[in-house]
Structure formats: C-alpha cells, structure tokens
Amino acid sequence: MFSLTGKHAVVTGAGSGIGKAVAILLAKQGATVYVADINEDQANETVREIGSKVTALIADLSDQQQTNKIFASLPKLDILVNSAGVSHIGTAESTEEADMDRLYKVNIKGVYNCLHAAIPLLKNNGGGVIINMCSIAATIGIPDRFAYSMTKGAVYSMTLSVAKDYLKDKIRCNCISPARVHTPFVDGFLKKNYPGKEQEMFEKLSKTQPIGRMAKPEEIAALILYLCSDEASFITGTDYPIDGGFIKLNN
C-alpha cells in the first residue's frame, strides 16, 4: 500500500521541517522527488539525506518567473505538495504593512505560482495530486495570528477552487490543517522570544493540544503520503485537520 513508484513529486519548502519530512517519506515510498526551496544549503542537505532519485530546485517561489523556470525543467509531474510558508505573530493593529506583504508573497502568491505552473503539467500527465499546507488557523480564531490566519484562509479557498475546476482533468486537490508541529521554526521562535525559558514555554505550547504534545513532522508527512497515494483516489476538495484534538476538544 501507498506505493509511489514511478511518480514524480515536487515538495516545496523541503529544506527543513514538515516539507523535509514529506520529501524523505515520498522518496522512501518510491517517488522521484524534487526538493524546492529558497535555501540552497538546506535543500542540498535534504537531497543528501534522501540519497537517490532526488533533485534540488532552488528558487524564490514568490517570484513567478523563477517558479515557472523550475517547473519547466521537470520531465513529468504527478504530485505537488505546497509546504513552503512563513509565520508571523501579531494582531491587526500590530501587523505592519511589510509583515502583511511578506506573508502574502510567500503563503499566498507562492502557492498560486506553484499551482499556476504545475497544473498544466498535471493535465498533460493525465491527472495527479495537489496537497496544500493549510492550518487550523484558517478556520478557528487563534490569538495574535492575524496575517498568518489570513493567508491560510486563502490556501483553504484555493484548495476548494482547484479541486472543483480540475475534476474533469483527474487532478485531486486537498489540504491539511496541522496544529502545532515541533519543527526547527518552533525551537528558533522560543530561543528568540523566551531566552532561558525555552523548555517551560515549549511545554506550555505543547499542552495547548488536548493530546498533550506537539505533532512530529513525520506524522504530518504520513497523512500527506496517504492523500498522495492511489488509496486516496476518491478524496478531493477536503481539508484534513491533524491537530491532536485542538479544534473539537479544546473547550
């Protein structure tokens, strides 16, 4: 089950965190993987860890010309995982225009650029799968996540639109909505904002999930693998929360 042998997959933001875990797992299941990331050193490290049937694609995905160029270099495409993204903490008052522009460029325009470049390749291939990285912040209110929540709401809407528009082309499009995931971003955030209290704050954030901990990137990757596989061929236009009970049980 869940074999991806013969499939070609682009994973954005695969230089670290969830994207890296996804790239490693898809390759393990037989896919030829393209690691798309703006950070060349991190992308190459992912390539080294995977070892074979993997290529780094270095680009700023918020730039449409660069995005088109890397997708035009692909021999074929079966799977696109839009995992690249950035975060921001702030309310509508404290969020500056520059913050809003940065979040829009990466989290919305970057996803659009990849969709715009990938969908013609998937159509030419006779169909395929798109997975977008959404968030529980798209559908529930989370304090101090104004701009980030806005971008993930857009990702959710784009997912539904693409799923509807390309049914006839046999392109399935879904998104997943994690709660907190323990990635290098979390460690960096705690080190920057809570020096000397990293462990205390890590435990506090972990316990906001009813299950009592943050997710591991590999757990998120496992859900993405399922949605990319032929076993999920009846699923499209759906958001999958993977949140340790956050949405339904956090009363």
pLDDT the model gives residue 184: 86
pLDDT the model gives residue 224: 98
b (16+ CB within 10 A) / e for 155-181:
bbebbbebbeebeeeebbbbbbbbbbb
Tokens of 84: 């690249």
pLDDT of 227 strictly over 90: yes
Residues 6+ apart with CB under 8 A from 178: 18, 133, 135, 136, 215, 220, 241, 242, 243
List C-alpha distances in Å: 37 to 11, 41, 42, 57, 227.
Answer: 9, 9, 8, 7, 22
Nearest one of 32, 76, 14 to 221, comparing CA atoms: 14
> Could you tell me the maximum CA-CA distance found in the chain, to the nearest angstrom?
55
Could you read off the pLDDT of 21-57 as tens digits, one per residue? 999 999 999 999 999 999 999 999 999 999 999 999 9
pLDDT of 185 strictly over 90: no
pLDDT the model gives residue 90: 94
Among this protein's residues, is 194 annotated catalytic?
no
Sole residue written with tokens 């591991």? 216
Catalytic entry in 148, 194, 226, 240: 148
Question: Could you tell me what percent of the chain has a pLDDT over 70?
Answer: 100
